[in-house]
Amino acid sequence: MAKKRSRRIIEMALAFLLLAPVISSPALAGSFDDGGLLRVINRWETLPKDYVPEEMVLPEVDTNKAGQKESIYMVPCAAAALEEMFSAAEEDGYILLAVSGYRSYSTQSLLFKNKVDSVGSRETAQKTVAPPGASEHQSGLAMDVVSTKFRYLNRDFLNTPEGKWVAQNCCYFGFIVRYKDGWTKVTGCNPEPWHIRYIGVEHAVAVTRLDIPYETYAAKARTLPEYVLCWGTSELFCGLVGDMLQGDESKAEELRLAEEMDEDFRWDTLNRITAQYASGE
C-alpha cells in the first residue's frame, strides 16, 4: 500500500510563509484555466486548438512498446508523480507500463477522424475517442497505463491486480482514474481504467474518496477561492465538496468571505474549517 502523502496544516502554513513569494505552483493561480492543474477537459469544455503545455518532459518509466518512448511526454509535475507511482507499484510487485501521454490537437483530430470513419457516426465515435480539444492528453496531464501482465487498453485491465493497484493507489501520487463504470453520462466517455489524469495529491485523494466523476467534483470545487484550492488538504476538499453536493454551502461561504480579509484571518479560517472536518463536526 502506498504511503499517504498528505501535508500537515502546519507544514503547509510554514511553506506558505517561507516560500509563497518564490513558489511557482500551476495550481496557485487560475487552477481551472487552460494551463491549470484542475482544468476540466471533456467534449463540453475543450482546450483551444493552439494549446500546448508550456513545458513537457519525458518521464523515466518503461513503455509498452519501444516505439512509444516518444509519445509519453507530460508536464514536469505529472511526469515526476508518474515516476514515483511506477516505482511504488514495482515495490509492491507490479510492473506498470506507459502507453500514451501528451497528444497534440492535430494528432487527436486524426485519431478522431479515423474513428468516425470506422464506426460511421460522430456520436458513437466520441464515446471511445475524444474529439480534438476534448482529450486530456492535449494537456500533458494524462497517461494511459497498462502492465507487463496485461498490455491492452481494455476495460478488463481493472480486474487485473495491476489495474486494481492503480485504481486504489494512483490518487496518492496525484492521479485519478478519470472514466469509471456508470459515469459515461457525466464524463462523455466509456469506462477507461487505464487512463489516469494528474490533478495533484490533495484533490486526487478527495475525488477518489468521494468516488464521483471529476466533472461533479469540479463543478463545486471551482466555486472555492484560489487560496483554498491551492493550500487545502484532501480532508478539507472531501468535506467541503461533499457538503456542497448535499446543498450545504456554509463552510464554503466562510472561506469565500475570508478571501477578502487579511492573510492571518484567511489562514485561521482555513485551519479552523480543516480541523472541523478532521474531527467530524
Active site residues: 192
Q: How far is the CB of 128 from Zn ion (least distance, A)?
A: 11
Least gap, CB of 144 to Zn ion (angstroms) = 4
144 binds Zn ion (CB under 5 A): yes
| Region 181-220 residues binding Zn ion, contact defined as CB under 5 A | 195
Q: Is 40 exposed, middle or buried (0-12, 13-18, 19+ CB in 10 A)?
A: middle
For residue 222, the surrounding DSSP H or E stretch is: none
Which residues, at least 6 apart from 45, have a Cβ–Cβ distance to it below 8 Å? none
Partners of 150 in the β-ladder: 147
Rounded to a whole number of angstroms, the minimum distance from the CB of residue 208 to Zn ion is 18
Cβ proximity to Zn ion: between 106 and 276 the closer is 106
| Residue 65, SS3 per DSSP | coil
What interhelical angle do 201-210 and 234-245 show, nearest 10? 40
Residue 115 lies near Zn ion (rule: CB under 5 A): no
Residue 162 cell numbers, joined: 495491476
User: Does residue 162 interact with Zn ion by CB under 5 A?
Assistant: no
Q: Which stretch binds Zn ion (CB under 5 A): 10-18, 124-132, 136-144, 156-164?
A: 136-144
Cβ–Cβ < 8 Å for 184, 190: yes
CB of 74 to Zn ion, least distance (A): 12
Closer residue to Zn ion, CB minimum distance, 101 or 232? 101
* Closest residue to Zn ion using C-beta atoms: 195
Q: 143 vs 240, which CB is nearer to Zn ion?
A: 143
Closer by beta carbon to Zn ion, 144 or else 202: 144
C-alpha 212 chain-centroid distance: 13
Residue 22 near residue 185, CB atoms below 8 Å: no
Interface residues with Zn ion (CB under 5 A)? Answer: 144, 195
